[in-house]
Amino acid sequence: MIYSSEIKAKYQYLLLTPTNMKTTDYKLYSYKMKHDNRFAPNPLFGVLTLATCKPAMRRNTKIGNWIAGWTSKQLKDSPTEVGKEKLVYLAKVTQKLSFAEYWEKYEQKRPAKTEDTKVIQRYGDNIYKPNPTNPKEFIQIENNFHGKDKMDKDLRGEYVLICEEFYYFSRLSPLDIPVELRPNIPKVQTSYGVITKDAAEFINYVKQHVELCKYTDAK
């Protein structure tokens, strides 16, 4: 079949064929978000990180997997009913770091305790400092979002997910996905979401809308 250049440009994401795709590169974890405040995930400083919340997902995802955060009934500014969810962000896991490694490598993501929303360090998610007297224990750094009551749940995740490729639309302008491209999305909150084994067409559709992103690594 021959396609015009106009059709190719508009529907490029659908014209991609499986011959140059590895299914393992397109495994997707989808979950619903109750909050989107640039803390979890943190899309700042050119890399999206997930250091808190979703402990089971942080343990089980592998490098090369994708993660998608969706709107929910509870999400501020973008409450949506089941089946009508929109995409808040999509990210590819490129590293999994221990909390100790994250503390050392991403100093810029350490939090600043301030109410000034223009200070981006306010949203820092690097909140667990290794205890110098016992490296297996951590000290929670003062921050704007998680108190000591969240510490055990956060640390159960064991890893911080580093995503150097990401597409963050935010709760204020989430991306609507065509029905035929929607991956598996949980109906309710889950510990690590639901899996779509091959989400290639969905992922490529999102990439076609990079100009709508609030933050992204794409140039």
Which tokens go with 188?
Answer: 């309710």
- Alpha carbon distances (Å) from 153 to 97, 193, 194: 17, 16, 20
Token digits for 210? 């990079």
CA atoms within a 13 Å half-sphere pointing along the CA-CB vector of 203: 24
Return the pLDDT at 193.
Answer: 87
Question: In a structure prediction context, what are the per-residue pLDDT tens digits for the chain, which is 219 residues long?
Answer: 333 344 334 444 444 434 444 545 799 999 999 999 999 999 999 999 999 999 999 999 999 999 999 999 999 998 999 999 999 999 999 999 999 999 999 999 999 988 898 899 999 999 999 999 997 899 999 999 999 999 999 999 999 999 999 999 999 999 999 999 999 999 988 877 899 999 999 999 999 999 999 876 543
pLDDT, residue 9, reads 42
- Domain regions of the chain by residue span: 23-110+153-216
Residues 6+ apart with CB under 8 A from 82: 73, 187
173 vs 34, 47, 76, 94, 167, CA distance in Å? 15, 20, 12, 25, 12
Separation of alpha carbons 99 and 129, rounded Å = 8
- How many angstroms separate the CA atoms of 127 and 52, rounded? 9
What pTM does this model have? Answer: 0.85
Can you say how many angstroms the Cα of residue 36 is from the centroid of all Cα atoms in its chain? Answer: 10
Per-residue confidence (pLDDT) for residue 2, from 0 to 100: 39
Structure tokens that stand for 117 in this block: 């929303």
CB neighbour class for 51 (10 Å; exposed up to 12, middle 13-18, buried from 19): buried
What is the pLDDT at residue 217?
Answer: 55
